[in-house]
């Protein structure tokens, strides 16, 4: 409740991540939608693609699906804390060009973009998130 209330102060609406119809509808109406493709959502709806030095990382196909269903322009928005703690610097990239038509290639493409954005301030990335928890069948966990 507290988290939702806080997020609603700066957002027009919140659409549940499982509400594909609502997200696509908002995109088709020209609304901006924030989506976190750097999270490990589990094996369902994911492809395994390289991410930094890890060869097989579960990467959501959600970005690919939203792109195909909505036809919306895709871009990245990254916030980096200023070193003097006076606020944030906002980076908004131009629309992505040449987004792959294959979901496995799209996953690898997105991971490269995420890597680039992380490298703006790697010390500020949420490394504690278990990004590598879902492994391909038969592969050992990367966590002890």
Beta bridge partners of 77: 92
67 — alpha (psi -120 to 50), left (phi > 0) or beta? alpha
Profile the chain (144 residues) by mean pLDDT over runs of 10 residues: 55 80 94 91 95 97 95 95 97 95 96 98 94 95 90
The pLDDT value given to residue 2? 57
Length of the chain: 144
Q: What count of other Cβ atoms lies within 10 Å of the Cβ of residue 47?
A: 21
DSSP symbols for 16-50: -TT-HHHHHHHHHTT------TTS---STTEEEEE
The pLDDT value given to residue 131? 93
């Amino acid at each position: 409740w507290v988290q939702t209330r806080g997020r609603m102060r700066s957002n027009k609406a919140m659409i549940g991540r499982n509400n594909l119809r609502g997200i696509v509808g908002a995109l088709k109406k020209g609304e901006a939608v924030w989506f976190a493709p750097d999270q490990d959502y589990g094996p369902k709806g994911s492809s395994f693609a390289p991410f930094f030095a890890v060869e097989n990382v579960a990467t959501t196909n959600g970005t690919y699906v939203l792109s195909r269903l909505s036809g919306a322009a895709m871009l990245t928005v990254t916030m980096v804390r200023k070193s003097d703690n006076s606020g944030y610097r906002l980076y908004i990239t131009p629309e992505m060009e040449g987004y792959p038509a294959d979901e496995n290639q799209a996953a690898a493409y997105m991971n490269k973009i995420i890597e680039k954005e992380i490298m703006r301030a790697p010390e500020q990335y949420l490394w504690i998130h278990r990004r590598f928890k879902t492994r391909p069948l038969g592969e050992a966990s990367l966590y002890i």
